């Protein structure tokens, strides 16, 4: 029987190379490489892809193996009994357990139940003694704390005695300064009287200043009225001056007329 030639390897190579050309054409089109060249590249890629799909049409689908040859019960026409296949368990090597080994070790060392009980009681007594030692250490710590507090209290009592001594000394000094306090009181009273006199003088000066300000205001009012009258008289003076000038002009004109008349009358008759 002749063996059929397998072309799947070459077809796989052609598909891989063609897919590469398609990807390059899409890359040219997306990035707009080369301007119009990108259109030709994407066109070439699509043509190659179409050819690849055309070639894949000649490739037969892969054949599945005939499992019925290995497992006859998979055949649709199988009519016998189904085989009973049980799972084979792995053989676990048997050996002595850990408890048995421990018992053997105790027997070899001549350790019985009584020895174990004694060991337990000894450990319990040891724990009780350790707890008692801890209590004793706590008591010693409390005693040290109490001693420190007593020392602090005694130092505070010493400070309190010093404070009482200072307070008594201050009271003595205050009793000695009673005379100074009386003199200070007299000086304060004198200062108060001086301040009262100064306030009276200040009030009198304020009243005089107010009177002076009123006089100044009256003077300025009169002055403003005088300036107003002066301005009005100035306007009248200007008008009077204008009228006098007009009168002088009229008199000059009248004098000229009279002069001409006199000249005409004084002319000799022919």
Domains in the chain, number? 2
Residue 33, in any domain of the structure: yes
Residue span of the structural domain in which 16 resides:
8-59
Give the per-residue pLDDT at 44: 87
Token reading at 110: 């001549």
pLDDT under 70: residue ranges of the chain: 1-8, 80-99, 101-102, 106, 110-112, 130, 132-147, 150, 153-154, 156-157, 160-161, 164, 168, 170-181, 267-270
Residue 246, in any domain of the structure: no
Query: Among the three residues 22, 38, 59, which one is the final residue of a domain in this structure?
Result: 59
Rounded CA-CA distance 270/261 in Å is 18
In angstroms and rounded to an integer, the radius of gyration of the C-alpha atoms of the chain is 71
Rounded CA-CA distance 234/221 in Å is 20
Rounded CA-CA distance 169/112 in Å is 87
Residue 159, in any domain of the structure: yes
Residue 163, in any domain of the structure: yes
Cβ neighbours, 10 Å, residue 72: 13
* Helix residue spans in the chain (DSSP H): 8-31, 37-56, 98-108, 113-176, 178-265
Token reading at 252: 């000059």
Residue 27, in any domain of the structure: yes
Give the per-residue pLDDT at 164: 62
Query: Among the three residues 120, 144, 168, which one is the final residue of a domain in this structure?
Result: 168
- List Cα–Cα distances, 145 to 131, 149, 154, 156, 194, in angstroms: 21, 6, 14, 17, 67
Query: Among the three residues 144, 168, 192, which one is the final residue of a domain in this structure?
Result: 168
Residue 48, in any domain of the structure: yes
Residue 189, in any domain of the structure: no
Q: Are 64 and 41 in contact (CB under 8 A)?
A: no
Q: Are 48 and 18 in contact (CB under 8 A)?
A: yes
- List Cα–Cα distances, 19 to 9, 15, 24, 84, in angstroms: 15, 6, 9, 51
Residue 201, in any domain of the structure: no
Rounded CA-CA distance 55/19 in Å is 13
């Amino acid at each position: 029987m002749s063996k059929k030639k397998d072309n799947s390897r070459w077809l796989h190579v052609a598909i891989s190379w063609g897919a590469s050309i398609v990807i390059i054409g899409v890359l040219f089109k997306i990035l707009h490489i080369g301007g119009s060249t990108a259109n030709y590249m994407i066109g070439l890629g699509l043509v190659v892809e179409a050819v690849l799909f055309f070639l894949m049409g000649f490739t037969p689908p892969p054949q599945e193996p005939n499992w019925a040859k290995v497992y006859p019960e998979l055949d649709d026409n199988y009519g016998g009994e189904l085989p009973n296949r049980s799972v084979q368990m792995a053989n676990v090597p048997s050996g002595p357990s850990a408890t048995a080994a421990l018992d053997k070790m105790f027997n070899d060392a001549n350790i019985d139940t009584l020895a174990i009980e004694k060991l337990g009681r000894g450990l319990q007594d040891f724990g009780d003694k350790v707890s008692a030692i801890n209590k004793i250490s706590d008591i010693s710590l409390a005693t040290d704390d109490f001693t420190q507090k007593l020392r602090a209290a005694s130092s505070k009592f010493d400070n309190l005695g010093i404070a009482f001594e200072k307070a008594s000394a201050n009271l003595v000094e205050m009793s000695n300064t009673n005379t100074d306090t009386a003199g200070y009181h007299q000086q304060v009273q004198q200062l108060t009287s001086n301040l009262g006199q100064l306030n009276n003088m200040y009030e009198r000066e304020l009243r005089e200043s107010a009177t002076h300000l009123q006089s100044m205001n009256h003077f300025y009012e009169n002055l403003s009225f005088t300036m107003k009258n002066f301005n009005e008289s100035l306007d009248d003076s200007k008008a009077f001056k204008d009228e006098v000038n007009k009168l002088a002009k009229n008199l000059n004109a009248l004098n000229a007329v009279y002069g001409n008349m006199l000249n005409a009358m004084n002319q000799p008759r022919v």
